[in-house]
Amino acid sequence: MIDEAVSRLKSVLISVPELNAVDNPRNYTESNTEICINKSINDDVKPSLSGVASVLLPLLKVEGEWHILLTLRAQNMRHHGGEVAFPGGMWEQGDTDLVMTALRECEEEIAITPDSISILGGLLPSYTRSLTRVRPIVGVVSSLERMTANPSEIAEIFTVPLTFFMADSRIRTDIFTHQDSGLTHWMPAYDYQGYEIWGFTAAVIVQLINRCVMGSIVDSFVDRFADNADDIAGEIIRQHSAPEKIWIY
């Protein structure tokens, strides 16, 4: 089942040609409602990708089972120090597109070179707690031979089986409310072998699982309630016995 789901990812992700356009309006105005996590935040179309970030969601096989590769950021990092994250960072002037940003950051952080990564496509943009807009790029890693953590940015590298997230073994459900706009969104938080996976990272993983691995189930349910899909999507996330935690940001 997992092999089949991963093999069809390319057909359900946003295509690489669409991602490879710095001035493509879809890089700014896509709604986040479809990922069953966030309310949409409307941005004006901008002339460049300044202020936009991208991350690489690396998939790889470990002993025949599909995993997601994650990093633990160094404690001294100015943003999100000590948190679990994907390789990634802000778009820079030398980057032709957000795919290049994700690949460059991946090489800088964990020394996986672009020739070891097959890009499948992109997910819908998400926002961090600081409201930075981030485009997740999904790729399959063919080799980890040269992988090593850049100690100035990354403390550890680890992988988590896709099946762990599909089982939804969350430790809690986080409820995030933006104090200025009042927008509220929900997402699970996980503990995997002592690594806490939450916030933006958890939101991207849930988008991958819901949209690409279990998409037909979630999409068909949300489509039935299209008029208030955001509220229904939030309720899907909340329907779990784990305790809830409220965050104001």
pLDDT tens, 163-179?
A: 999 989 899 999 988 88
Q: List pLDDT tens digits, range 145-160.
A: 889 999 999 999 999 9
Question: Where are the extended beta strands (E) located within the chain?
Answer: 52-62, 65-73, 84-85, 88-90, 117-122, 126-127, 133-141, 154-161, 170-177, 184-192, 195-197, 244-248
Residue 21 or residue 193, greater confidence: 193
Q: Residue 56 has what pLDDT?
A: 98
Rounded to whole angstroms, what are the CA distances from 69 to 14, 144, 149, 181, 212?
A: 21, 11, 12, 33, 17
Amino acid letter, 101: T
Write out the H or E segment, with its range, that includes residue 6: helix 2-7
Rounded to two decimals, the pTM is: 0.81
Q: List pLDDT tens digits, range 2-44.
A: 787 788 888 889 988 887 654 444 444 443 333 333 333 334 4
Q: Residue 151 has what pLDDT?
A: 95
Helix ranges (H only) for 46-147 are 98-110
pLDDT of 45 above 80: no
Q: Residue 218 has what pLDDT?
A: 44
Residue in 249, 29, 239 with CA at minimum distance from that of residue 135? 29
Give 4: exposed, middle or buried? Use CB within 10 Å, 0-12, 13-18, 19+: exposed
Q: What is the mean pLDDT of the chain?
A: 81
Diameter of the chain measured on Cα atoms: 49
Q: Which domains does the chain have, with CATH numbers?
A: 2-158 (3.90.79.10), 170-248 (no CATH)
Q: Which of 79-88, 115-124, 206-215 has the lowest mean pLDDT?
A: 206-215
Q: List pLDDT tens digits, range 91-148.
A: 999 999 999 999 999 999 999 999 999 999 999 998 887 778 999 999 999 989 889 9
Residue with tokens 């958890």: 202
Q: Residue 25 has what pLDDT?
A: 44
